[in-house]
Structure 1
Amino acid sequence: MNRAQEVERSINKTFSKTIWSKFIKGIKTYDLIQEGDKIAVCISGGKDSMLMAKSMQLLQRYSMYPFEVDYLVMDPGYNPINRKRIEDNAQMLDIPIKLFETDIFEVVASVEDNPCYLCAKMRRGYLYKNAKALGCNKIALGHHFDDVIETTLMSLFYASEIRTMMPKLHSQNFEGMELIRPLYMVKEGAIIEWMKHNDLKFIQCACRFTENCVLDEQGGGSKRGEMKALIKKMKKDNPDIDINIFNSTHNVNLDTIQGYRKDGERHSFLEDY
Structure 2
Amino acid sequence: MKLQQLLSYTRKAVDDYQMIEEGDKIAIGVSGGKDSLTLLYALKGLQRFYPKHFELTAVTVNLGFEGFDLTAVKQLCEELEVPYHVIDTEIEDIIFRVRKEAHPCSLCAKMRKGALNTAVKELGCNKVAYAHHRDDIIETMMLSLLFEGRFYAFSPKTFLDRMQLTVIRPMMYVPEVDVIGFRNKYQLPVAKNPCPADGATKREYAKQLVRQLNIDHPGVKDRMFHAIVTGNMEGWPLKGETR
TM-score by length of structure 2 reads: 0.87
Is the aligned partner of 1:225 residue 2:213?
Answer: no
Closer, same or farther in 2 for the Cα pair 1:93/1:46, shift >3 Å? farther
What stretches of structure 2 of length at least 5 have no aligned partner? 236-243
Of residues 180, 188, 194 in structure 1, which corresponds to 2:182? 194
**Structure 1 position 79, deviation (Å):** 2.3
Superposition pairs of residues 24-43 of structure 1, within 5 angstroms: 24-43=11-30
**Structure 1 position 82, deviation (Å):** 2.9
- For residues 197 and 145 of structure 2, the distance between their equivalents in structure 1, rounded to whole angstroms, comes to 26
Q: Which residue in the other structure is 1:250 paired with? A: 229
Q: Greater relative contact order (Cα 8 A, min sep 6): structure 1 or 2?
A: 2
Is the aligned partner of 1:177 residue 2:169?
Answer: no
Q: Which residue in the other structure is 1:268 paired with? A: none
Closer, same or farther in 2 for the Cα pair 1:93/1:136, shift >3 Å? closer
Closer, same or farther in 2 for the Cα pair 1:60/1:95, shift >3 Å? same
- For residues 68 and 80 of structure 1, the distance between their equivalents in structure 2, rounded to whole angstroms, comes to 31
- For residues 102 and 21 of structure 1, the distance between their equivalents in structure 2, rounded to whole angstroms, comes to 36
Q: Which residue in the other structure is 1:136 paired with? A: 125
Q: Which residue in the other structure is 1:122 paired with? A: 111
Aligned amino acid, residue 247 of structure 1 = H
* CA displacement, residues 17-53 of structure 1 (integer Å, 9 cap, x when unaligned): xx22111111111111111111111100001101111
- For residues 34 and 92 of structure 1, the distance between their equivalents in structure 2, rounded to whole angstroms, comes to 25
**Structure 1 position 143, deviation (Å):** 0.7
Equivalent residues, number: 233
Of residues 125, 132, 143 in structure 2, which corresponds to 1:154? 143
Aligned amino acid, residue 3 of structure 2 = I
Q: Classify the secondary structure of the residue corresponding to 2:172.
A: coil
What stretches of structure 1 of length at least 5 have no aligned partner? 1-8, 213-220, 254-259, 263-273
* CA displacement, residues 150-198 of structure 1 (integer Å, 9 cap, x when unaligned): 0000100111111111111111431x21111111111110010111122
**Structure 1 position 68, deviation (Å):** 1.1
Instruction: Please identify, of 165-174 and 32-41, the stretch whose mean Cα deviation from structure 2 is larger.
Output: 165-174
Q: Classify the secondary structure of the residue corresponding to 2:86.
A: strand
* CA displacement, residues 94-147 of structure 1 (integer Å, 9 cap, x when unaligned): 543122211111111233253211111111111111111111111111111000
Superposition pairs of residues 59-98 of structure 1, within 5 angstroms: 59-91=46-78, 95-98=82-85
Identity %: 30
Q: Which residue in the other structure is 2:241 paired with? A: none
Aligned amino acid, residue 124 of structure 1 = K
- For residues 141 and 182 of structure 1, the distance between their equivalents in structure 2, rounded to whole angstroms, comes to 8
Q: Classify the secondary structure of the residue corresponding to 1:82.
A: coil
- For residues 250 and 70 of structure 1, the distance between their equivalents in structure 2, rounded to whole angstroms, comes to 29
- For residues 38 and 95 of structure 1, the distance between their equivalents in structure 2, rounded to whole angstroms, comes to 12
Q: Classify the secondary structure of the residue corresponding to 1:243.
A: helix
Q: Classify the secondary structure of the residue corresponding to 1:86.
A: helix
**Structure 1 position 70, deviation (Å):** 1.2
Kept in 2, the 8 Å contact 1:170–1:177? The answer is yes
Q: Classify the secondary structure of the residue corresponding to 2:70.
A: helix
